[in-house]
Amino acid sequence: MMTLQMLAGPIVGAVIGYFTNYIAVKMLFFPKKEIRLFGKRLPFTPGAIPKGKERLAGAIGNVVATKLVTKADILEILLGEELEDQIIHQLNLWLAKNIHTDLYAMTKSEDQIDQLREQLTQYITKEMMGAIDQLEIGEVIAKEAKEAIKEKTGGKMFAMFISDSLIDSITEPIAQKAQNIVMEKGADYIRPQVEKKIVEWENISILEALESAGIGKEKLEEVLRATYEKAVKAAMEKFGSKFDLRSIIEEKINAMDVNELESLVLTVMKKELDVIVNLGAVIGLVLGMINLLI
């Protein structure tokens, strides 16, 4: 009987300590809404976490944005060797694909490919005709013809009878006619060749096209890496100020309901909270045993 009385104190102390801490932990989350009695809010309602939800969201957002994941960290990740290698590898795989295959994958329609081919043909033909027009083929022909006539008649007896004005009277009509023919009929000659070349391009990869232009894989990779790094840095400069990680996290937490927030906290701290509850029992047990000695 005496032994039971001696154990009663420590056991009761352990039970009280356990449930005291258990209630304290539960009061972090409960009640989830404030309780009013006679128009007045009861103390400790709502629980500490529901009540301080906005403050908690701001604190977490601030810690993550300023200590854990800064803009410099994001830039370092994006420019990290591992990620950059993966991106360059994927770009090389894409460049090695058949152009027609890529077009079909994007459009899922041969009709749309034909339409794209027609638009590209028209554009290239138009640009080439514009370039030819600027060359003024007629004047080039006239100049070359004049030089050829002078060269062939030079030193001949009848050269004295062939003046510049006579040569001009011969070459200028030819030049004008040639210019007119080029501008009127040139597209008819250029277009079939452009169409043929486009079809050839469709059946090779961009990588093969670049290699045929003298751009090897090493040079291409160097250009891709430089372009990627430049693009990432430019994007961070332009959009970095708009990428407010703190606000994103804060808004995300504030958008959670209390149950989701409780689940989030317990996912991280369940073991620690259980330790606090069990520690209450241990402290109660120790205090009960000390009480026996007093």
What's residue 157's pLDDT? 47
What's the whole-number average pLDDT of the chain? 75
**Banded model confidence at residue 164, pLDDT cuts 50, 70, 90:** low
| Whole-number percent of the chain with pLDDT over 90 | 0
What's residue 34's pLDDT? 74
Peptide bond just before 192 cis, omega within 30 deg: no
Domain ranges of the chain: 107-204
Q: Which residue has the higher pLDDT, 8 or 55?
A: 55
Amino acid, single-letter form, for residue 284: G
| Whole-number percent of the chain with pLDDT over 70 | 75
What's residue 158's pLDDT? 46
- Residue 220 pLDDT more than 70? yes
- Residue 159 pLDDT more than 60? no
- Residue 238 pLDDT more than 50? yes
Residues 50-58: what's their mean pLDDT? 80
Q: Which residue has the higher pLDDT, 27 or 39?
A: 27
